[in-house]
Amino acid sequence: MTEDNQKPTDHLVPTPSRSGLTRRYGDFSSFSAALDYAAQGESGFNIYSGRGKLLEALPYRLLREQAISTAKRLLGSGLNVGDRVAIIAESDGDFARIFFGCQYAGLVPAPLPLPVAFGGKENYVATLRGMIKSAQARAVIVPDVIQSWTDDIIKDLDLAFGGSPALLSEKPIIDIQLPDIKSDDLSYLQFSSGSTRFPVGVAVTQEAGLANAKAIAKDGLKVFPSEDTRDDRCVSWLPLYHDMGLVGFFLTPLTCQLSVDLLPTREFARRPHVWLDLISRNRGTISYSPSFGYELCARRNAPPEIDLSSWRIAGIGGDMIRHHILEGFAERFAPNHFDQRAFVASYGMAEATLAISFAPLNEGIQTDTIDLRTLEHDGLAQKSDDQSQALRTFVLCGTVLPDHQIEVRNPEGAVLSDRHLGRVFVKGPSLMKGYFKRQDETDAVLDQHGWLDTGDLGYFLNGQIVITGRAKDLIIVNGRNIWPQDLEWSAESEITSLRSNDVAVFSLETQTGENIVALVQCRATEEDSRKQLQDDIASLFRRQHGVDVRVILVPPKTLPQTSSGKLTRAKAKAMLLSGEFDVSDNADLSVA
């Protein structure tokens, strides 16, 4: 480790894990009221560099003072209560000050992504401007890391303010009475990611956000009460423009007075073990990641002195859960005192603020291995351990949070019993108000009785929900329901040269009929090696899944991912159809 990794600088120390307050679990009327309470204690946010150096310790009491000043600067810049403020979200103190400044000012922040999930500046700026226009934002905050792109981002937009956090801090603090924030006021907009069109903003009220934060902390994670001898502490590298980072490791910890150690998302892939080192150094107890984060750590060499014995909740979410990756991580870090029982599977989405269900704590990952052919043909998750059959192992994602409901329904709307595959619907106090200024899109997923069509497919097993995939990704061939991730995971696990997210599978209606296409990131340059890879993958799909698949090789790092590192098949398909991949050596892909 470098010197920066070993300890924080002499004059900075992280906020303590114990706040000194009686624990409260989100029972507030607003997020600003939650900060008012947390500010009476000692905990707070701690901002680290990608190398693990403490850059800023921000106790909640100091954050409150700075947020109130920021609120008055924002209102003094010509913004009015209810206006939207687009914040390109770096994981730093400026984001915290501006986000909570908006909460005090009655403004609606819309966290937007940094350019880690988009192909080049032009595509990123176009996507960002689409989000800004969708939010009808009146202010845009651009962090220093992309400050040179500010003019391109805000060009011709009707804004009261556009610029850096430093420029905002130069605005005068006006003498103004801040508004009373009501529970049904909008708290923030959360943008979905990965769409082929500009994403829509999920409108989250104060009440919905706090209901989810309370359920996460009190019921899902069972955050220790303050009088307990053990101390919970959160550590996260997750992006603050994604619901798992924003709600799970920014808003929820504050509402239950926990300290949080934040690492920059954009540097995680280069030094993933800094995440583990920070958990070890600060005795972190709660931290989450999608599957690929655990896989990155397991593939790299870690300092032997890392001690993960404090990590009681190693959460997994944000994508379909790959149990074999978690098993590999647990085996790799068992010598570092990682307990595989710490794994906690969960299910959620931005439209429900974040969390919908949590698996039981202290039991690790629970799986269900089923006959894949019966699932594909009959929609029945029939348990099997017959190795002569095509099998699929799913992870159980837990029971629904209190005061919420989950149903699995057939196409006619009838509620299904255990092991019957259907569409997943949820209801409860955490649901979004709707998509911002998009009534048609809202009506398509949220009915008059408050039920949300998640767009996911799954089944129940002993009271726990099992998610099998997104309905829109399902490939139907000759009456079979084929999940693209089944093919993707087969290739990535059987072909040694492939890694996670190297394969994107989808169906394509061409002039010759319905085709299944696999885009595969290939690192080989020799023609013979490339041809062999294509043949091996196509043969694997025929042998294991009984389908013919057109395999197209694409350059490394070209398959698109969302802000949370999730492969986006829809965008990959759009890129193929728009000619962004070279298919000169492949058969005709003209759309019918």
- pLDDT, tens digit (0-9, with 9 covering 90-100), for 203-221: 999 999 999 999 999 999 9
- For residue 566, give the nearest of 500, 520, 498, 484 by alpha carbon: 500
State how far the alpha carbon of 281 is from the alpha carbons of 42, 46, 233, 404, in Å. Answer: 19, 13, 12, 37
Q: What residues have CB less than 8 Å from 423, skipping those under 6 apart?
A: 408, 409, 410, 411, 453, 454, 455, 456, 457, 471
Cβ-contact 200, 435 below 8 angstroms: yes
My answer on whether 459 and 483 are in the same domain is no
What are the tokens at 108? 């609606």
My answer on whether 92 and 217 are in the same domain is yes
- Rounded to the nearest 10 degrees, how much is the dihedral formed by the CA atoms of 71, 73, 79, 81? 20
The residue range of the domain holding 253 is 3-348
Q: Give the Cα separation of 120 and 536 in Å (integer).
A: 32
What's residue 5's pLDDT? 40
Q: Give the Cα separation of 220 and 255 in Å (integer).
A: 14
Average pLDDT rounded to a whole number, residues 92-112: 98
Q: Final residue of a domain: which of 472, 496, 514?
A: 472
Hey, how many other C-beta atoms are within 10 angstroms of the C-beta on 317? 24
My answer on whether 447 and 390 are in the same domain is yes
How many domains is the chain built from? 3
CATH for 543: 3.30.300.30
Query: What pairing do the DSSP bridges indicate for beta strands 475-477 and 464-470?
Result: unpaired
Average pLDDT rounded to a whole number, residues 433-460: 95
Q: Is residue 588 part of a domain?
A: no
Q: Final residue of a domain: which of 313, 348, 383?
A: 348
Partners of 189 in the β-ladder: 203
Q: Is residue 388 part of a domain?
A: yes
Query: Tens of pLDDT along 121-165?
Result: 888 898 899 999 999 999 999 999 999 999 999 999 999 999 999
From 137-141, 411-415, 473-477, the region with the lowest mean pLDDT: 473-477
DSSP label at 246?
H
Query: Tens of pLDDT along 301-341?
Result: 888 899 999 999 999 987 788 898 999 999 999 999 999 99
My answer on whether 274 and 145 are in the same domain is yes
Write down the residue that tokens 């790092």 correspond to. 557
Q: What pTM was estimated for this model as a whole?
A: 0.88
Is the pLDDT at 295 greater than 80, yes or no? yes
My answer on whether 468 and 485 are in the same domain is no
Half-sphere exposure of 401 (CA within 13 A, CB side): 29
Q: Which DSSP string do the residues of 493-551 spell out, in sequence order? A: HHSTT--TT-EEEEEEEETTEEEEEEEEE----SHHHHHHHHHHHHHHHHHHH---EEE
What's residue 331's pLDDT? 96
Q: Final residue of a domain: which of 443, 472, 501?
A: 472
My answer on whether 319 and 211 are in the same domain is yes
Is the pLDDT at 592 greater than 70, yes or no? no
My answer on whether 258 and 384 are in the same domain is no
H/E run at residue 481: strand 480-482
Q: Is residue 115 part of a domain?
A: yes
Query: Tens of pLDDT along 389-399?
Result: 788 899 999 99
Q: What residues have CB less than 8 Å from 314, skipping those under 6 apart?
A: 287, 288, 289, 338, 342, 343, 344
Q: What is the largest CA-CA distance in the chain?
A: 75
Phi, psi of 87 (to 5 degrees): -120, 110
What's residue 302's pLDDT? 82
What are the tokens at 219? 């019921």
Q: Is residue 171 part of a domain?
A: yes
What's residue 511's pLDDT? 60
Q: Is residue 504 part of a domain?
A: yes
What's residue 193's pLDDT? 53
What's residue 565's pLDDT? 67
Query: What pairing do the DSSP bridges indicate for beta strands 399-400 and 405-409?
Result: unpaired
What are the tokens at 526? 């020799």
CATH for 272: 3.40.50.12780
What's residue 508's pLDDT? 85
Q: Give the Cα separation of 588 and 26 in Å (integer).
A: 56
Cβ-contact 102, 85 below 8 angstroms: yes
Is 219 strand, coil or helix? helix
State how far the alpha carbon of 45 is from the alpha carbons of 30, 110, 140, 587, in Å. Answer: 19, 20, 23, 54
Instruction: Categorize the per-residue pLDDT at 564 as very low, low, confident or very high, splitting at 50, 70 and 90.
Output: low
Distance of CA 225 to the CA centre of its chain: 27
What are the tokens at 265? 């998302």
What's residue 8's pLDDT? 45
Is the pLDDT at 512 greater than 80, yes or no? no
Q: Give the Cα separation of 347 and 400 in Å (integer).
A: 9
Query: H/E/C letters for each residue in 6-75?
Result: HCCCCCCCCCCCCCCCCCCCCCCCCHHHHHHHHCCCCCEEEEECCCCCEEEEEEHHHHHHHHHHHHHHHH
Cβ-contact 299, 329 below 8 angstroms: no
What's residue 513's pLDDT? 63
My answer on whether 255 and 281 are in the same domain is yes
Mean pLDDT taken over the chain: 91
Phi, psi of 138 (to 5 degrees): -105, -5
% of the chain beyond a pLDDT of 70? 93
CATH for 432: 2.30.38.10
Please report, as a single letter, which amino acid is at residue 490. S
What's residue 197's pLDDT? 55
Query: H/E/C letters for each residue in 339-395?
Result: CHHHEEEEEECHHHCCEEEECCCCCCCCEEEEEHHHHHHHCECCECCCCCCCEEEEE
Average pLDDT rounded to a whole number, residues 241-268: 96
Q: Give the Cα separation of 131 and 118 in Å (integer).
A: 14
Please report, as a single letter, which amino acid is at residue 506. F
My answer on whether 459 and 478 are in the same domain is no
% of the chain beyond a pLDDT of 90? 74
What are the tokens at 34? 């939650």
Q: Give the Cα separation of 300 and 307 in Å (integer).
A: 16
Q: Is residue 585 part of a domain?
A: no
Is the pLDDT at 409 greater than 80, yes or no? yes
Q: Is residue 355 part of a domain?
A: no
My answer on whether 316 and 380 are in the same domain is no
Cβ-contact 346, 220 below 8 angstroms: yes
Query: Tens of pLDDT along 448-465?
Result: 999 999 999 999 999 999
My answer on whether 283 and 181 are in the same domain is yes
Is the pLDDT at 550 greater than 60, yes or no? yes
My answer on whether 270 and 399 are in the same domain is no
Q: Is residue 378 part of a domain?
A: yes
Is the pLDDT at 344 greater than 60, yes or no? yes
Q: At what angle do helices 93-105 and 31-38 cross, to 10 degrees?
A: 120
State how far the alpha carbon of 135 is from the alpha carbons of 39, 139, 274, 362, in Å. Answer: 30, 10, 35, 41
What are the tokens at 501? 């997210």
Hey, how many other C-beta atoms are within 10 angstroms of the C-beta on 415? 12
